[in-house]
Amino acid sequence: METSNEKPSKGASFSTIIKNIFFVLLILQFAPIIFTGVKSTLEDMFTPKAHIGYLNINGFIGDSTHYIKCIDEFSKNPDIKALLLRINSPGGYSGSSQVVFNELKKFKKDKPIIAFIENTGASGAYYIAMAANSIIASPISLVGSIGVFMELPNVKELLTSWKINYRYVQSGAYKTTGSMVKDVKPEELAYLQELSDDQYRQFVKDVAESRKLDAKTHKLWADGKAFTGNQALKLKLVDKLGSFSDALDEVKRIGNVKEEIKLIQPKKPSGFMRLFGGDDEMGQDSMSLSFAEKTACFLSNVWNKFSSLQASQMPQTH
Using the predicted structure, report yes or no on whether residue 9 has a pLDDT greater than 70: no
pLDDT grade for 164, boundaries at 50, 70 and 90: confident
| Chain segment 276-286, per-residue pLDDT in tens | 444 444 333 33
From 14-28, 79-93, 220-234, 254-268, the region with the lowest mean pLDDT: 14-28
Using the predicted structure, report yes or no on whether residue 117 has a pLDDT greater than 90: yes
Q: Which residues are catalytic?
A: 123, 175
pLDDT grade for 275, boundaries at 50, 70 and 90: very low
Answer whether 138's CB lies under 8 Å from 241's CB. Answer: yes
Beta-bridge partner residues of 262: 51
Q: What letter does residue 265 receive in the DSSP assignment?
A: -
Read off the pLDDT of each residue in 46-64 and give the average, rounded to a whole number.
90
Q: In whole angstroms, give the CA distance from residue 162 to residue 184.
A: 21
**Higher-confidence residue: 196 or 153?**
196
10-144+215-310: CATH class? alpha beta
From 73-77, 304-308, 313-317, the region with the lowest mean pLDDT: 313-317
CA-CA-CA-CA torsion sign (93, 190, 225, 239): negative
Q: Would you kindly state where each structural domain of the chain is located, as residue ranges?
A: 10-144+215-310, 146-214
pLDDT grade for 108, boundaries at 50, 70 and 90: very high
Q: In whole angstroms, give the CA distance from residue 72 to residue 53.
A: 11
- Mean pLDDT highest for which of 19-23, 152-156, 244-248, 295-299? 244-248
Answer whether 91's CB lies under 8 Å from 103's CB. Answer: no
Using the predicted structure, report yes or no on whether residue 16 has a pLDDT greater than 90: no
pLDDT grade for 78, boundaries at 50, 70 and 90: very high
Helix (H, G, I), strand (E, B) or coil at 133: coil
Q: In whole angstroms, give the CA distance from residue 198 to residue 48.
A: 49
Q: Which amino acid is it at 238?
A: V
Read off the pLDDT of each residue in 23-32 and give the average, rounded to a whole number.
65
pLDDT grade for 48, boundaries at 50, 70 and 90: confident
